[in-house]
Amino acid sequence: MRTRTDAAKLVEGGLVRLNGTRVNAASHAVRIGDVLTVALDRSVRVLRATGFAERRGGPDSVRGLCEDLSPPPPPRSERPAAGVREPGAGRPTKRDRRALDRLVQEPNGWDER
Residue 110 banded pLDDT, cuts 50, 70, 90: low
Residue 21 banded pLDDT, cuts 50, 70, 90: very high
Residue 13 exposure: Cα atoms within 13 Å on the Cβ side: 11
What is the tens place of the pLDDT at every residue in 37-81? 999 888 899 999 999 888 887 878 878 888 989 888 777 666 666
Q: Which CATH superfamily is domain 4-68 in?
A: RNA-binding S4 domain (3.10.290.10)
Residue ranges covered by each domain of the chain: 4-68
Cα separation, 50 vs 47, in Å, equals 9
Sign of the Cα torsion 20, 25, 31, 37 reads positive
